[in-house]
Amino acid sequence: MTMSEFLIGANVSMKAPKMFPGAVEEALSYSANTLQFYTGAPQNTRRKPIDQMKIPAGLDEMQAGGLSHLVIHAPYIVNLGNTKKPKNFAFAVQFMKEEVARADALHAYAMPFHPGAHVGAGADAAIQQIADGLNQILTPDQNVIIALETMAGKGTEVGRRFEELAAIIDRVDLKDKVGVCMDTCHMSDAGYPVRDDFDGVLKEFDDVIGLDKLKVLHLNDSKNPQGAHKDRHTNLGLGTLGFDVLNRIAHHPALVDIPKILETPYVGANESRDFAPYGVEINWLKTGQYQPDELTALWKEA
* CATH assignment at residue 59: 3.20.20.150
Cβ atoms of 27 and 10 closer than 8 Å: yes
CA distances from residue 197 to 7, 112, 180, 193, 245 in whole angstroms, order as listed: 23, 24, 20, 5, 10
209 inside domain:
yes
Does 252 count as an annotated binding residue? no
Residue 72's contacts (CB-CB under 8 Å, 6 or more residues apart) are 36, 37, 38, 39, 99, 102, 103, 106, 108, 110, 111, 144
Burial grade of 272 (CB within 10 A; 0-12, 13-18, 19 or more): exposed
252: helix, coil or strand? coil
25 inside domain:
yes
1 inside domain:
no
Structural domain boundaries, residue 181:
8-301
Count of beta carbons in the 10 Å neighbourhood of residue 68: 14
Task: Please report the DSSP string for 154-191 in residue order.
Answer: -TTBS-SSHHHHHHHHHH-S-GGGEEEEEEHHHHHHHT
Does 207 count as an annotated binding residue? no
Does 73 count as an annotated binding residue? yes
Task: Return per-residue pLDDT of the chain as tens, 302 residues.
Answer: 444 469 999 999 999 999 999 999 999 999 999 999 999 988 888 899 999 999 999 999 999 999 999 999 999 888 999 888 888 899 999 999 999 999 999 999 999 999 999 988 788 999 999 999 999 999 999 999 999 999 999 999 999 999 999 999 999 999 999 999 999 999 999 999 999 999 999 999 999 999 999 999 999 999 999 999 999 999 999 999 999 999 999 999 999 999 999 999 998 755 555 789 999 999 999 999 999 988 877 766 65
88: helix, coil or strand? helix
Does 99 count as an annotated binding residue? no
Quote the pTM value: 0.95
Does 118 count as an annotated binding residue? no
**Count of domains forming the chain:** 1
- For residue 11, list its beta bridge partners: 36
Count of beta carbons in the 10 Å neighbourhood of residue 208: 15
Among 62, 72, 83, 99, residue whose Cα is nearest residue 13: 72
The C-alpha atoms of residue 99 and residue 110 are separated, in whole angstroms, by: 12
156 inside domain:
yes
Does 149 count as an annotated binding residue? yes
221-222 and 233-234 strand pairing? antiparallel
Does 233 count as an annotated binding residue? yes
The C-alpha atoms of residue 296 and residue 76 are separated, in whole angstroms, by: 31
Does 107 count as an annotated binding residue? no
